[in-house]
Structure 1
Amino acid sequence: MADVKNKVAENVEGAYYVDDQCITCQRCIDEAPNNFKMNENGSSSFVYKQPENDAEKKNCEEAMDSCPAEAIGNDG
């Protein structure tokens, strides 16, 4: 389960985040490309834009559910 205390620095402020347990599988980017990106050094994905509509929220939830490292959290 993702830990809000271990969020990666690149996450934008908001409910969804990626923590330091990310294994860079890029599944979240495949599920929600409008909301997740890989950081510059390729060590972690992060939330670059919080969902702005129901479709993006659904995609973020699917990304969270499919994360093999359980590194995506939702504090919303």
Structure 2
Amino acid sequence: MADPIQKAPENVSGRYYVDLTCIDCDLCRETAPAHFVRNNDDGHTFVVKQPKSPDEEAACHLAMLECPVEAIGDDG
């Protein structure tokens, strides 16, 4: 389970976030590319945009469920 204390500092505020246990596997960026972006300097992903529509919400939720290390959190 993602740890809110370890949130990547680049995450935009809101419901979804990525913590620093991210292994940079690219799955969330493939599942919801408008919402998850790679930090090329540190090799981890962060949330760049929170979902606004039901389709975007579904994509972010699926990315969270698929994350192999559970680095995506949901504060909602």
TM-score tier, shorter chain, comes to: over 0.9
Instruction: Compute the TM-score of the two structures, normalised by the length of structure 1.
Output: 0.96
List runs of 5+ in structure 1 lacking aligned partners: none
Correspondences of 1:1-76 after superposition (within 5 Å): 1-76=1-76
Determine the C-alpha separation between the residues in 2 that align with 1:43 and 1:26. Answer: 10
Determine the C-alpha separation between the residues in 1 that align with 2:40 and 2:3. Answer: 22
Alignment length, in residue pairs?
Answer: 76
List runs of 5+ in structure 2 lacking aligned partners: none
Q: Percent identity?
A: 49
Determine the C-alpha separation between the residues in 1 that align with 2:20 and 2:46. Answer: 10
Instruction: Compute the TM-score of the two structures, normalised by the length of structure 2.
Output: 0.96
Deviations 1:18-71 (CA, angstroms, capped at 9, x unpaired):
001100001000000110000131511000000010000000000000000100
Opposite residue 68 of structure 2, the aligned amino acid is P
Opposite residue 29 of structure 1, the aligned amino acid is R
Q: Which runs of 4+ in 1 moved over 2 A?
A: none
Q: Secondary structure at the match of 2:30?
A: helix
